[in-house]
Every structure is written in structure tokens, then in C-alpha cells.
Amino acid sequence: MAIAGRLGGRRHRILFVDAFDSFTNNIVGLLEESCADTTVELVHIDDAGFQKNIESRIDQFDAVVVGPGPGHPSNPDDVGFINHLWQLSEERMLPILGICLGFQSLCFAHGATVEKLARARHGIVNRVTHQDDDIFSGIGDLEATQYHSLRANLGFAAGDDHVSWTPSETCPDLQPLAWDVDDELNGPIVMGVRHTTKPFWGVQFHPESICTNKAGKALIQSWWDLARDWSRRNGREVAPRLQEKQANGTAHKVGGQSNSTSNGDASPGEQGHGPFAEYLLSITDGKISFEQSVSKTIEKLHLPHVLEALGLAQDQVLVLDSQGHPSGRYSIIGLVMPDITAQVSYRVADKTLRYATGPTKQQSIQLKGIEEVWPALQDALDVFQPPIPSAFEKNIPFWGGFMGFVSYEAGLEGIDVAAHPSCEEGTLPDVSFAFIHRSIVIDHHASNLVIQSLLPDDEEWLATTSRIIDHLSSVSGTSDAVGTGVSLEDRSLDLALSRAKVTRPAEREYREKVLRCQDFLASGDSYELCLTDETTIEISGEINEWDLYKRLRRNNPAPHGAFLRLGNMTVIGSSPERFLRWTRGGQCQFRPIKGTVKKGPGMTRERAHEILDSSKERAENLMIVDLIRHDLSGVIGADKTWVSKLMVVEEYETVYQLVSVIEGELPDKRAGLEVLKSSLPPGSMTGAPKKRSCEILRDIEKRPRGLYSGVIGYMDIGGAGDFSVVIRTAVRGSKDSTWRVGAGGAVTIQSTDEAEFHEMETKQSSVLASLFQQQKKS
């Protein structure tokens, strides 16, 4: 008898069948961690090549895990070839574990009906009652996260003791192994089954979720033991992996580095650099320099004064501003210099990369798609390897490099979701970066200001700028505080704003959209949907954008403020949410916010904590934490990914928010950009599973989101990066009289349409009220 196992040094192989879920890489990680000497390979449910040769392909694996996903097991589009797996012939038989949708598919194929729950269970953590039997044997008490709208009805009920079981007429081959018996509305729900004669098992819950206790891992180990045991007893041999099959096989490993992107026209060639990097170099005749000047006495200095004293406020400029918020440490000013600063942009609608140092002489390259934009940017960063002099201020995060943004639709293109058709009509870019040679970085904690340039022979600018800043710091009374009187600035802003026409989302329509979202949540197509809408502020005539921004930062300070005048766009924002930061040392961090409570009369800190500790808010946050763990592990591996903060309450000017922190260790300098591109659009702005949720939201919202829901930040030549989520932000095209302010919130099955409307209003008015009021009313 041949024994399947680690014979002759062969590693075990588990095939993971992915139904386009946003938790896949977490399961792959759990399998790799729990099943020793095992490689997990992934194939999508719609992989035609795999399906064509399914039997011979399956022969090459020790076992299969069929994953969770949106939709219903009766819908071929939702499960692809999964349903065929349950029909494998006797000689091809192998152990299969179904998780959630995979579990439902197993039940469905064996006679169960799969029905909507009376109330869906998304992000709910609950006890799973089991009898310490079969795959549940020895795992201990199990607390597990559930993400399902549907349930398998096997034609039998849980016995009072949850042990007794007689085969049902409809599903004679399935034996229940576990139940959730605590949900009064739904009644007992089957949580685990096994096939009575075949090596098929299934669980309705998610063993990989961050909130499932350690019994989740024990369950996988127990399944793996039983699976190998079955193979041994049945003399199953795993077919050897042929070299050529591996080369053009469709299954590929996840959990390690993601696939490299194809070389497009804008990417670096075999040798040397691509055309964009070469273009950047040509601006300074191939010369690269690095000079810094450090000023240390800046306690009294405030970012707006620096900008104004240097005459930067009224022209193209990029400012990432921590707005005096205690949790924001650095502010960065990137100077846009005529004929020197290269601006590079990309539009989803025409897939064209454009770059120039000014409005004329624009170069353009037709790309295959967004996947070719990233290598072009990385290539340009690689050109500038800074020599580090000893007196160098190394600790600041930005030495020079790209500052700019990526829109929501650019993120959609990356996950293969078509943008709303009206995206074609727009003229604003979806990716827009300036390569910054001259910059000023303020470290508010260390009271440090660094002036730096990548331009050769730029000492004069460094010296002049340094002198202006020294002078500013010495002038007493330079204060960021709000004056008591009404300034001239405020008067002219008020005049301009008095002509503004504000159009807000209508309550009835918004609430209807919330209900439509909930239909999709109830049908199993999504577990959470971040619904958004847009308020427009039309201002005829001139308005001073910089003054408007100063008002916003004064009234609604947040750690990720931004003032960008870049190309044909102006952005003023005060975002509280970091999307992704990575350091030169290889640490990376996501900080999703999910869960919002409005401040106001009667809302105490304690009450806010109580609300944010509710099942509704925690479920909302948990789903995004699991989603972001998946996004990050897809690039760096689950073993290099961890959650350092789970659902802590943070206080902002107008709201309390529930925040989690997901961190990881990057393998090399280029991985930061890899993580960025693989995680867009930000999970906190989509919902889960990401791809299906984005398709649903596009069809409900019926408009492109543009920069709102995208990211703003920098990528530095030394290998660091930091991006915020674009929320609480107003955007306009420079020739446009209309500002757009997006706002929304995560809709879950526990939401009410009324409360969701008010949450959206709260977020939208954190920007609107801040723009229209001279001073925040305390």
C-alpha cells in the first residue's frame, strides 16, 4: 500500500478553491500554520483550464479546501466548479473540507436546501456547541466568527441534547457535528457536518477569523489528521507534479510574494530604466544630489505660516498636514516647480500614463492597465538612491519622491471591477503624483523642521528657505490659534460661501439605498457594504482655496489633513484615517476605522464606548480587520501579518471612532508599493467581500466616487510610504465651480436606514459645517 504523506521529502499539497472571498489568504495562512510540511495552492472557482482537467489536477493534491464567498451554492456563477467536486468518482476520491459557502455547497449537493436566515450573521462571534467528536475531537471550547446570510437546512432538527441524530430523509448521508443554539430568532443553526461514507467535511463558521479562538486552529489540525488518516487507510496516492504542469498550471501559491506584474511599455526594460524614470533623470541631466538643512527651534511655528511666508499657498503645491492633531506627528510640504517637477498621471477611462513638467510637452504612453503604472513609479523611485551623509536627519519619513493620490476607481481597476460608465466622461486623473525634489518636513513631536532638495547645486534655495524659516520662528505671536475677531479672510470666504448652492443627498433616497444594500446582505452577496453619497457645493465666482483649507483644518483638525493643488485638481481634507504606512525598516501598518459615534449634547465618553462596544459596531470593525489581514497576507504571507490593536475607541473633533491596527513585516524595499496596490480600494470604504461589494455599490450608488474613497500620500526614495483614506475631504477640478464632498458609512444587517442616514450626515457635516462656520461652535 502506498502511503500519502511526506515520503521521499515530498511536501503535502492542499488545493484551496477560492470563491472570490476577502478572507481567503487568512485561511491559506491558517492551513499553512496548522498542517505541517504543507504547501497550499490556490485556484479560482471560474478557472476554465482547471475545470477542464479537474480530475487529473485534483490527483496532484492531498486534500482540497473549498472556501467561503458571496452568493448561493445553487448559482453556478457563485460556486463555479465547486459543485463538481462532490461528484468525484470512487477512484478519484480525496478529503475535502468546505468552509461557509463551501460548507453550504457540500450540504446542497447532498440534498439540503440552503435558505436565508431570519437574520443574517455577519461578524458575529458565538459559541459553537459540539460533542468533541470527529473533526471537533479534542479542540476544546470553540468561539467562532460567523459570516453568513444563508443556512443549510438538512431536514433534521437539533435534538434537545444536540447529540442525538437520525439520518434525515432529505440528507441521509450528512451527519451534523456542531450547532449554534443561542440565536433565538434563527433557532439552532448547523455549524458542522461530515459525510457518513466519503471524506467530506464542512463548517459554517470561519476558523481563520481574528476573533475565532484557538480552537479554530485545533479544528483544522484535527481535520488534517483525519484527512491523512483517510488517505492512508484507502491507499490513496498523490500523482507526481509534472514540471510542465507546474509551469503553466493555473493554481498558484498565495501567502508568499504575489505574482509579479507584466512588463508594460512604461516599466523598466531588461536593462536600465523605463521611459518615465529616464525622463525624470533627464530633468537634472542625469545628476542626483541630496542636501538637507535642519532647523530645530520651531515650537512657535505653524504650517500655514511656513507656506505663506514661502509664497507657496496660492500655486501648485502638495501639503500633507497633521493639522496640529495630537496623533499626527509629521507634516510634509512638497514644492511643485515649473519645468522641474514632473507630474505623472493615469486615467482608468483611457489607460494612458501621462507625464510632463508643465502644461505643455506632455508625454504619454498607452498602457494595458493600472498594473503597469506601479512598476513605472517604483522604477522612478529606484533611480534615486540617496547617498546618506553622516550629519543627515535620517528619522524623518520623507526625503523626496512621489506625493499624490490614487482614486477609488483606480483601485477598482486593480480588482477587476469595471467603473461606473460615467467615469468615461470625467477629465480628472485617477492616479496623480508629482516627483518632489524640494520638500519641507516638520516633525511636530521633536519640534524639528527639515528643508531638503534632490536637485544638484541647490544650496542657495536651502539657505534662503532656512533664513525665512529662522526669521519666522523668531517672530513672536506667530500662532495657529483662532483669533477672536473676524478676519478679512473670513469675511471674503463668507461672502463667497453666501453664494454657494449646496445639494445634499435626499434622505428618502439614501434610506432606500440602505435598504437595497440590506437586500444584498440578506441574500448572501455581501457581509457589509460601505454605502456613500455625495454633497456638492457650487460656488460661482472666486473663492480662496487656501483660506478655505485653513478654515477646515482649524475647525476639524485630523491627523491626515491634505491640501493639494496638483495638475487640474484641488483637494482640501481632514481625514482621521490612515490607510497604510510603511517604513524604510520594513514595518507596515493599516489603521482602519469602522464604527462612528457623533459627539454632541448628552454623548459622554462612557456612552460612546458603550455604543462602540455593541455587537453592531464590533461586527462592522471585525469584518474589515479580517479583510485587511487578507489583503496584507496576500503579499507578505499570513505568518508576517498580525493585529496589534483590535477595536479601540479614538476621539476626534466631532466623532468617536472604533479603530484597529493591522501590521506586517515587509520582505524588501519594494514590498510597500506591492502592498499598496494589492490593497486598493481601502477595505474600510468597500465592505466585504471586496470585489462583489464594489460591484453592488457601483450599481446602487450609480456614480464614480473619484478621489473620495481613494488614498492620498507619499512614497519616498528611501523606501518609506504613508497614505490616508480620502474621507472628510472636498475635491474640485481646477476649472470647476463645484466642490464634491463624499460621505457614507458601513451598512450591515444590524443597521437601520434612519441611523445610517444620520451617520452619513454626521460625517458629511464634519466637513460642511467646518467650511461654512468661521469658528467651530464649542
Ligand X SMILES: C=C(O[C@@H]1C=C(C(=O)O)C=C[C@H]1O)C(=O)O
Ligand Y SMILES: NC(=O)CC[C@H](N)C(=O)O
Interface contacts to ligand X, rule CB under 6 A:
530, 532, 577, 593-596, 684-685, 725, 727-728, 742-746, 763
The entry of ligand Y, ligand X, none near residue 744 (CB within 5 to 8 angstroms by kind) is ligand X
Question: Buried (b) or exposed (e) across 492-525, using 16+ Cβ within 10 A?
Answer: ebeebbeebeeebbeeeebbebbebbbebbbebb
Tell the smallest beta-carbon distance from residue 222 to ligand Y (Å).
Answer: 21
Distance CA 170, CA 107 (A): 10
The residue written with cell numbers 483649507 in the block is 549
Comparing CB distances to ligand Y, the nearer of 149 and 724 is 149
35 in active site = no
509 in active site = no
Catalytic residue, candidates 122, 130, 171, 208: 208
Judged by CB under 6 A, the number of residues near ligand Y is 12
Per the rule left: phi > 0, alpha: psi between -120 and 50, beta: everything else, 123 is left
The entry of ligand Y, ligand X, none near residue 705 (CB within 5 to 8 angstroms by kind) is none
41 in active site = no
Between residue 90 and residue 129, which ones bind ligand Y under the rule CB under 6 A?
A: 100-101, 104
Tell the smallest beta-carbon distance from residue 243 to ligand X (Å).
Answer: 46
The entry of ligand X, ligand Y, none near residue 149 (CB within 5 to 8 angstroms by kind) is ligand Y
Q: Which of 334, 339, 336, 335 is nearest to 358 (CA)?
A: 339
Tell the smallest beta-carbon distance from residue 728 to ligand X (Å).
Answer: 6
Piece in contact with ligand Y (CB under 6 A), picked from 147-155, 173-181, 192-200, 556-564: 147-155
Yes or no: say if 470 and 298 are a contact pair by the CB < 8 Å rule.
no
DSSP state of 767: H
Q: Examine residue 71 and tell whether it contacts ligand Y (CB under 6 A).
A: yes
Question: Buried (b) or exposed (e) across 95-130, using 16+ Cβ within 10 A?
Answer: bbbbbbbbbbbbbbbbbbebeebeebbbbbbbebbb
Of 148, 273, 640, 677, the one binding ligand Y (CB under 6 A) is 148
Of 202, 249, 324, 524, the one binding ligand Y (CB under 6 A) is 524
Cα–Cα distances (Å) from 203 to 100, 178, 194, 208, in that order, read 6, 8, 9, 12
Catalytic residue, candidates 12, 122, 195, 206: 206
Calculate Rg over the CA atoms of the chain.
Answer: 28
Tell the smallest beta-carbon distance from residue 127 to ligand Y (Å).
Answer: 19
Catalytic residue, candidates 100, 171, 211, 694: 100
Distance CA 634, CA 652 (A): 32
Tell the smallest beta-carbon distance from residue 762 to ligand X (Å).
Answer: 9
Of 150, 396, 472, 675, the one binding ligand Y (CB under 6 A) is 150
Comparing CB distances to ligand Y, the nearer of 22 and 432 is 22
Q: Cell numbers of 274, please?
A: 523605463
Comparing CB distances to ligand X, the nearer of 97 and 593 is 593
Tell the smallest beta-carbon distance from residue 223 to ligand Y (Å).
Answer: 17
Of 20, 61, 147, 723, the one binding ligand Y (CB under 6 A) is 147
Question: Buried (b) or exposed (e) across 598-626, using 16+ Cβ within 10 A?
Answer: bbeeeeeeeebeebbeeebbbbbbbbbbb
Distance CA 252, CA 122 (A): 29
Distance CA 136, CA 615 (A): 27
Tell the smallest beta-carbon distance from residue 495 to ligand Y (Å).
Answer: 54
Residue type, 745: G
The entry of ligand X, ligand Y, none near residue 727 (CB within 5 to 8 angstroms by kind) is ligand X
Q: Examine residue 687 and tell whether it contacts ligand Y (CB under 6 A).
A: no
Comparing CB distances to ligand Y, the nearer of 142 and 548 is 142
Per the rule left: phi > 0, alpha: psi between -120 and 50, beta: everything else, 622 is alpha
Which are the catalytic amino acids?
100, 206, 208
- Note the residues at the interface with ligand Y (CB under 6 A): 68-71, 100-101, 104, 147-150, 524
